[in-house]
Amino acid sequence: MRASWSSPWLFILAATGSAVGLGNIWRFPYVTGENGGGAFVLLYLFFVFFMGLPILFSEILIGKRAQKNPINAMKSAALESGAGQYWKFIGAIGVLAGCLILSFYSVIAGWCLAYVYDYVTVANLVTSFEEADEKLDYLTNSPIKLITWHTLFMLVTVVIVARGLKRGFELATKYLMPVLFATLLLLVGHAVIVGDFSSSISYLFEPDFSRLTSKTILLAMGQAFFSLSIGMGAIMAYGSYLPTGISVGKCALSIAIADTSVALLAGLAIFPIVFAYGLEPAQGPGLVFVTLNVGFSEMANGRFFGLVFFLLLTIAAWTSSISLIEPGIAWLSEVSEMSRKRASVFLGLTIWLVGLGSVFSFNLWSEFKFIGMNIFEIIEFVSTSLILPFGGMMLVLFVGWFMKRNIVVSELNLKTDSTFTSIFFILMKFLAPLGVLIVLIENSGIRKLVF
């Protein structure tokens, strides 16, 4: 018998754990900072609820219906509705994308681990922006250091998934998610007290539409997809352990709301400090690793709060990384002779090896570029800017056009011919896939080639 979640709440919590990760706490604040704040946030919210949510529905629906790993789930969902079995390739590229994303995700998560270690052991915190910058350089210039932390991060991920649903990721979810929420609230509370809260609120929520460009729109959509963990079957894999009789709609909505709240709260934990110490919000990827560090070193009890912050990032990354590797492991252990343990070790090792490419992109191989990108950037671009939107688009197209309408209607508890249902299907059939297609064409540079 296939295992299932002990309660629907645990599924929602685990899927939220997948969604909440480096994307929310590291990437969302710096991308928002670089793109002018409020207007970007507004766009992001639009994409989460109008494009992301339909894909989230689709993934949970297919997984739950099929009770199989994403590749076989796509196949059996397609066959059940009389569509071709080739839909399984959408599952397959999803599994591949998960492995690719994890290969660099683990390297960046390794930085967080390195910072945790640093806050515990170092004698003096950094005192200036230059010093903080040097510190990050010192870490990224050392392949040995990066490999050590990348290895440790992957090791823990593999141990958790190898133990399976109940003793592995359900258990991790139960313990890690409450810690994650508690530390986040602690940090927001602290930032509100010591930081410049009102500037942060106006920065995040007062839109300045003059800052919007087509690039911002693409970024906001990519960020929404990455943050919700959609497009590659991660949530489908989690959904496949759902028992029957659970409302897919409510689950998807709860996950989207929780993920978005955490992204906004992360902004409220970071920007008050950035503004209070006169730091620059538009600092790019270095926002938490460099800028925020300067803030921590200037505040009272900065060592403690810095430590808590990077611990939060690490935990968020772990609950996400599990979901990136789970589709591959579920597939390997369900279709081959390999046990779950073996499959975890084998896939973990492979991903670890690919991750070395990202490690060396920061040092030994930094000069090695292909169409202007190093290995890390290529892997990130292909997986998150190309495969995720493509996968997401195919998933809504599948549910909108190919899945039997009565299956969708009954799984989502919709009324057969209400206005809401009609609007829902218009969204699934036309608006969501078309929106994603536009982004995909822009992202892949196809438009530049053609026009």
Total binding residues toward ligand TRP, as defined by CB under 6 A: 17
How far apart, in Å, are the Cα atoms of 414 and each of 59, 226, 257, 429?
17, 28, 20, 16
* Residue list 76-105, contact with ligand TRP (CB under 6 A): 101
CA distance 203 to 208: 9
In whole angstroms, the minimum distance from the beta carbon of 399 to ligand TRP comes to 18
260 binds ligand TRP (CB under 6 A): no
Q: Which residues have a Cβ under 8 Å from the Cβ of 418 and sit 6 or more positions away?
A: none
Residue whose C-alpha is closest to residue 398's, from 67, 97, 82, 96: 82
Q: Does 324 bind ligand TRP (CB under 6 A)?
A: yes
Q: Does 428 bind ligand TRP (CB under 6 A)?
A: no
Residue 62 contacts residue 360 (beta carbons within 8 Å): no
Rank residues 13 and 126 by Cβ distance to ligand TRP and give the closer one.
Answer: 13
Q: Based on CB atoms, which residue is closest to ligand TRP, 41 or 299?
A: 41
By CB under 6 A, is residue 331 in contact with ligand TRP?
A: no
Phi, psi of 106 (to 5 degrees): -65, -35
Pick 126 or 324: Cβ nearer ligand TRP:
324
Question: Is 291 or 323 the residue whose CB approaches ligand TRP more closely?
Answer: 323
| Beta carbon of residue 191, minimum distance to ligand TRP (angstroms, whole number) | 21
CA 59 to each of CA 44, 90, 260, 269, 397: distance values in angstroms, whole numbers, following the listed order: 20, 12, 18, 31, 12
232 binds ligand TRP (CB under 6 A): yes
Q: Smaller CB distance to ligand TRP: residue 43 or 324?
A: 324
102 vs 397, which CB is nearer to ligand TRP?
Answer: 102
Site string for ligand TRP, 268-307 (x = CB under 6 A): ----------------------------------------
Nearest to 298 by CA among 314, 320, 275, 321: 275
Q: Which listed residue (106, 229, 254, 361) binds ligand TRP by CB under 6 A?
A: 229
Stretch that binds ligand TRP, among 33-41, 108-116, 226-234, 359-367 (CB under 6 A): 226-234
Shorter beta-carbon distance to ligand TRP: residue 54 or 195: 54
Report the alpha-carbon angle 31-348-63, nearest 5. Answer: 70
Q: Which is nearer to ligand TRP, 19 or 60 (CB)?
A: 19
Nearest distance, CB of residue 25 and ligand TRP, angstroms: 8
User: Binding to ligand TRP by residue 136, rule CB under 6 A?
Assistant: no
320 makes contact with ligand TRP (CB under 6 A): yes
Tell me the sheet residues that pair with 373: 370
Rule CB under 6 A: which of 367-396 touch ligand TRP? 388
DSSP-assigned beta bridge partners for residue 370 = 373
Interface residue with ligand TRP, options 173, 227, 254, 385 (CB under 6 A): 227
Closest CA to 303 of 117, 65, 160: 117
Query: Cα-flanking dihedrals φ and ψ of residue 338, to 5°?
Result: -65, 140
Smallest separation, CB 47 to ligand TRP (Å): 14
Mask 15-34, x = binds ligand TRP (CB under 6 A)?
A: ---xx-xxxx----------
Q: Which is nearer to ligand TRP, 326 or 411 (CB)?
A: 326
> Which positions lie near ligand TRP, rule CB under 6 A?
18-19, 21-24, 101, 226-227, 229, 231-232, 234, 320, 323-324, 388
